[in-house]
Structure 1
Amino acid sequence: MTPTPTPAGALAPSLDLGGRTALVTGAAGGIGRACVLRLAVAGAKVRAVDRDAAGLESLAERAAGLPGTVEPRVLDLTDLDAAEQAAAGTDVLVNNAGLQLVRPIEDFPPDVFHTVLTVMLEAPFRLIRGALPHMYGQGWGRIVNISSVHGLRASPFKAAYVAAKHGLEGLSKTAALEGAPHGVTSNCVNPAYVRTPLVEKQLADQAHAHGVPAERVLSEVLLQDSAVKRLIEPEEVAEAVGYLCGPQASFVTGTSLVLDGGWTAH
């Protein structure tokens, strides 16, 4: 099925996902939470997946009364079979869940490296694998992978995170090439540092790794390469996700939508 393009000169339509089922991982906080709410505002039935049961309960309460619905699903993505099964029947898949540890390679725990790659690369593969049969069957689907500027650039002391995000970029492009004949797009969204608990929790580790006081990490480490000297808000990332799910983005696939404040312009 070939998607119908937006007519030339027409106003960009507002996002309408009524009747669509979406799945968002890492949904209890940060970018994931913002994405769930954005998709629910657009009318989607959203499966909110996270291992944080309390966070999911809070999210469901926040989403009450929105045009769409939020269905909390407590799930640890290291259970790869369960992850694949959870994605069955979804029209929109947002791979967002992530974790971070800041250590030099020689001090990086191998078990943590394995867990990061499992959650941030292997689980997205299994989720995509679970979602594609339904998407292909109906001739429409949207896969949005929350990558990072670290999917395009490396930073020291983040071996697992950088490796996982670079791998996610390749997985996303492959899904785009395979999905194109079936009306399925696959893209990455690549923010720089976002105002999330994941970023806040790494400040002390960054201070230790770089040898600077914690209060100087934001300006001297996190924002050093960004021309725009602020953190991105989760809602800004969620709007990019919404754009990629809309009809105006039907020709956008296999690419990376960079929200890095000019980082990669250097």
Structure 2
Amino acid sequence: MSDSPPLQGRRALVTGSVQGIGLAIAEAIARQRADIVLHGLATPAQAHEARRVMLEAGAPRVDVFTHDLRAPAHVEAMMQEALAAGPIDILVNNAGIQHTAPLADMPRAKWDDIIAINLSAAFDTMRLALPPMAQRGYGRVVNIASVHGLVASIHKAPYVAAKFGLIGMSRVAALEYAGAGSRATGGVTVNCICPGWTETAIIQPQIDARAHGLDVSRDEAMRDLLREKQPSGRTSLPTEIARVVTWLCEPAAHNLTGVAIPVDGGWTAQ
């Protein structure tokens, strides 16, 4: 008889999980027969489809939340509703938005929205999820940062600020909760994943702008972007990022905390 999956019986909340990297992460965790709490500003059809994917993957129970993470009150309401329905063993802060413009031309409203969703929402989910994790002796927080949490890039001031902040905040939380639990219970860890170029909708505007500027096809624009930053010359797939996240959530990863793992084809090794 085979062993049970390492995350069976756990419950995971993944923000921004109705598409892209978040959906892939939620599906990977669901395949280990964990309950899933999905989140995203989804249409009813998108929410229904994401829920179907989770159930088909093996999740015993799936909830879907549509709270707007720009508003602290909405983040708190989401967390209270999620916690009222059961413990949150795994928290993946994946929700994020992007807007590119020179710093001097960046609309202040874009700064506010990007900081709110990419950084402040993670602060609120963590401050509410971590204490109960510590009480139970097991918890996993995985924050999806970015290569731009490790190195800067022009025209992305609020995004870079948020991602640098997310990594710093995660390290503080990792230190504060490092002593919670034990090897036997699994402990409480807080880590970041820092993807480089990954095949998601968030990079499409940058590809389109490069294609327009160079008067080339989308594929040629993508190759040009990769050549500029990512030595491997290959993008990552959301499913590949999800594999890293699920391993961090397993009990065996109890002593891996406070790190920011680049999945960037060598970008930050340069």
* Pairwise same-fold verdict (TM > 0.5): yes
Name the structure 1 match of 2:17.
Answer: 27
- Give the deviation of 1:133 after TM superposition: 2.3
Are 2:248 and 1:244 equivalent residues in the alignment?
Answer: yes
Name the structure 1 match of 2:95.
Answer: 97
Matched to 1:176, the amino acid is A
Distance (whole Å) between structure 1 residues aligned to residue 227 and residue 137 of structure 2: 42
Name the structure 1 match of 2:49.
Answer: 58
Cα deviation code 1:164-215 (max 9, x no counterpart):
100000011011001112121000001101101111233234557xx43363
- Give the deviation of 1:74 after TM superposition: 1.2
Matched to 1:252, the amino acid is L
Name the structure 1 match of 2:26.
Answer: 36
CA change 1:80–1:206 in 2 (3 A) is farther
Name the structure 1 match of 2:184.
Answer: none
Name the structure 2 match of 1:7.
Answer: none
Distance (whole Å) between structure 2 residues aligned to residue 108 and residue 59 of structure 1: 33
Matched to 2:14, the amino acid is V
**Secondary structure at 2:179 match in 1:** helix
Name the structure 2 match of 1:139.
Answer: 137
Matched to 1:77, the amino acid is L
2:71–2:116 contact (8 Å) kept in structure 1: no
Name the structure 2 match of 1:125.
Answer: 123
1:185–1:252 contact (8 Å) kept in structure 2: yes
Are 2:234 and 1:230 equivalent residues in the alignment?
Answer: yes
2:226–2:233 contact (8 Å) kept in structure 1: no
Cα deviation code 1:130-156 (max 9, x no counterpart):
111210110110000001111101111
1:36–1:70 contact (8 Å) kept in structure 2: no
Are 2:81 and 1:77 equivalent residues in the alignment?
Answer: no
Could you tell which deviates more after superposition, 77-86 or 168-177?
A: 77-86
Q: State TM-score, norm by structure 1.
A: 0.89
Distance (whole Å) between structure 2 residues aligned to residue 260 and residue 78 of structure 1: 28
**Secondary structure at 1:141 match in 2:** strand
- Give the deviation of 1:14 after TM superposition: 7.7
Task: Give percent identity, aligned residues only.
Answer: 38
Name the structure 2 match of 1:175.
Answer: 173
- Give the deviation of 1:220 after TM superposition: 2.2
**Secondary structure at 2:178 match in 1:** helix
2:197–2:236 contact (8 Å) kept in structure 1: yes
Are 2:207 and 1:203 equivalent residues in the alignment?
Answer: yes
Distance (whole Å) between structure 1 residues aligned to residue 68 and residue 269 of structure 2: 37
**Secondary structure at 1:154 match in 2:** coil
Task: Give 5+ residue unaligned stretches, structure 1.
Answer: 1-12
Query: Root-mean-square deviation (CA), in Å?
Result: 1.7
- Give the deviation of 1:217 after TM superposition: 3.0
- Give the deviation of 1:72 after TM superposition: 1.3
Distance (whole Å) between structure 2 residues aligned to residue 120 and residue 164 of structure 1: 6
Name the structure 2 match of 1:8.
Answer: none
**Secondary structure at 2:91 match in 1:** strand
- Give the deviation of 1:64 after TM superposition: 2.5
Distance (whole Å) between structure 2 residues aligned to residue 139 and residue 242 of structure 1: 18
Could you tell which deviates more after superposition, 26-35 or 85-94?
A: 85-94
Distance (whole Å) between structure 1 residues aligned to residue 17 and residue 73 of structure 2: 19
